[in-house]
């Protein structure tokens, strides 16, 4: 796999001999965008952070909490050195002297490997202070501004943007927040070893061999899932909790544009396979409950809207829902997506909008009266 390549800090050595503007141009030409799900152009974030004034910080977002997503865990387990190397390159580009790896609490078993990689860096270079902070846990802690509040010892609520973290972030200092995989790509780009079409897919659910699979964008869903050996007849594919749900189609070509055209989001390349033996209504209710549990409660649409969705899902399961409830579900889903403050709320109903579109039969247990 591309990500397992041992670069021996040669990407960093080469980067240190280059001008940061040249490096930004190289990253721009690579087409790299954020692998944490938002796909913001990486060169642009680096460039904005570089042009900010004052003491700067790099934060590596290792708070990977999206259900069914474990590719950052895989990278940190198999090759923590490349992540540390990427952090040092990003720090060189924006002229930061402090960096923080913000690790998901449940991933604390990775701590030893990451600390060893930091020690290795310190022996050879050591001009950046790289700290490892273990998160208290929580889905919202992976949001780029909630991380900053958490690092400052505050409740991890998202912040309003602007100002963006690259202008005013951790302790009001310009802060570059990048995902693990994004940073791990930097040494490969600098060494000319980067393949822009390769992606790490987290595959789980009704498959014999769940795990992280490397594949080229453009592979069909059927080809990719065959490698994980599906159990039974796949019926649905969940793109994490926040990426939506699609009917399983082996001929579906996996590209971001294709999935977006269908109303889903291939943000972190998460594929949870659900076969026809599962009760989809229960699966959907679990997703709705997940967002109720993980909402930070700061804004009304997400805090109050998601519990209403759970209420209606329970009515459908009990057989007491009406057609009016079903139309309310759709209105709630759109309203929450349009008016929530942060990405969690905005994406919290994508599953519902796609489920209503592709699995109307699952919601048909509603009385036609109102």
Positions in the binding site for ligand SF4 (CB under 6 A)? 140, 158, 295-299, 302-303, 340-342, 344-345
Q: Which is nearer to ligand SF4, 11 or 142 (CB)?
A: 142
Please state, in angstroms and rounded to a whole number, the distance separating the CA atoms of residues 26 and 21.
9
Q: In Å, what is the CA distance from 28 to each residue of 17, 249, 367?
A: 18, 34, 55
Q: How far is the CB of 161 from ligand SF4 (least distance, A)?
A: 11
Shortest Cβ distance from residue 302 to ligand SF4 (Å)?
A: 3
Nearest to 206 by CA among 177, 235, 186: 235
Q: How far is the CB of 64 from ligand SF4 (least distance, A)?
A: 17
Question: Please, which residue, 75 or 146, has the CB nearer to ligand SF4?
Answer: 146
Nearer to ligand SF4, 158 or 187 (CB): 158
3-state secondary structure 204-236: EECECCCEEEEEECCCEHHHHHHHHCECCCEEE
Whether residue 65 contacts residue 146, with contact meaning beta carbons closer than 8 Å, is answered with no
How far apart are CB 182 and ligand SF4 at their closest, in Å? Answer: 22
Residues 6+ apart with CB under 8 A from 78: 3, 4
CB of 339 vs ligand SF4, minimal distance in Å: 9
Q: State the nearest-atom distance from the C-beta of 50 to ligand SF4, in Å.
A: 29
The smaller minimum CB distance to ligand SF4, of residues 17 and 160, is found at 160
Please give the Cα distance from 325 to 159 (Å, whole number): 33
Q: How many contiguous H segments (helices) and E segments (strands) does the chain have? A: 15, 9
E strand spans, 95-155: 98-103, 129-134
Of residues 140 and 313, the one with the C-beta less far from ligand SF4: 140
By C-alpha distance, which of 250, 363, 349 is closest to 317? 363
What are residue 100's DSSP bridge partners? 59, 131
- The residue (of 297 and 360) whose beta carbon lies closer to ligand SF4 is 297
| Burial (Cβ within 10 Å: 0-12, 13-18, ≥19) of residue 118 | buried
Residue 150 CB, shortest distance to ligand SF4, in Å, is 13
Residue 130 structure tokens:
């790289």
Query: Which residue sits closest to ligand SF4, CB atoms considered?
Result: 345
Between 178 and 340, whose beta carbon lies closer to ligand SF4? 340
């Amino acid at each position: 796999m591309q990500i397992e390549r041992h670069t021996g800090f040669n990407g960093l050595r080469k980067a240190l001999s280059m001008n940061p503007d040249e490096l930004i141009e190289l990253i721009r030409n690579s087409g790299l965008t954020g692998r944490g799900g938002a796909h913001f152009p990486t060169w642009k974030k680096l460039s904005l952070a570089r042009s900010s004034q004052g003491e700067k910080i790099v934060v590596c977002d290792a708070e990977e909490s999206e259900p069914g997503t474990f590719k950052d865990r895989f990278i940190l387990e198999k090759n923590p050195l490349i992540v540390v190397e990427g952090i040092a390159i990003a720090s060189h580009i924006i002229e930061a002297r402090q960096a923080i790896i913000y690790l998901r609490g449940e991933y604390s078993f990775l701590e030893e490997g990451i600390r060893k990689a930091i020690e290795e860096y310190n022996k050879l270079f050591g001009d950046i202070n790289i700290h490892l902070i273990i998160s208290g846990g929580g889905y919202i802690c992976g949001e780029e501004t909630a991380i900053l509040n958490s690092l400052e010892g505050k409740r991890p609520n998202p912040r309003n943007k602007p100002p963006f973290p690259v202008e005013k972030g951790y302790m009001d200092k310009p802060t570059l927040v990048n995902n693990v995989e994004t940073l791990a790509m930097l040494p490969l780009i600098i060494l000319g070893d980067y393949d822009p079409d390769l992606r790490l897919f987290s595959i789980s659910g009704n498959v014999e061999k769940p795990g992280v699979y490397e594949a080229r964008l453009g592979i069909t869903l059927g080809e990719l899932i065959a490698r994980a050996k599906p159990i039974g007849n796949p019926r649905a594919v969940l793109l994490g909790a926040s990426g939506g749900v699609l009917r399983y189609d082996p001929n579906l070509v996996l590209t971001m544009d294709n999935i977006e055209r269908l109303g889903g989001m291939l943000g972190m390349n998460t594929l949870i396979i659900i076969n026809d033996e599962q009760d989809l209504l229960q699966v959907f209710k679990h997703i709705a409950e997940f967002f109720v549990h993980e909402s930070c409660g700061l804004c009304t649409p997400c805090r109050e809207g998601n519990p209403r969705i759970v209420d209606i899902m329970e009515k459908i399961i009990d057989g007491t829902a009406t057609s009016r409830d079903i139309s309310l579900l759709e209105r709630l889903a759109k309203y929450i997506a349009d008016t929530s403050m942060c990405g969690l709320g905005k994406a919290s109903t994508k599953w519902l909008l796609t489920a209503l579109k592709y699995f109307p039969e699952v919601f048909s247990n509603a009385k036609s009266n109102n």
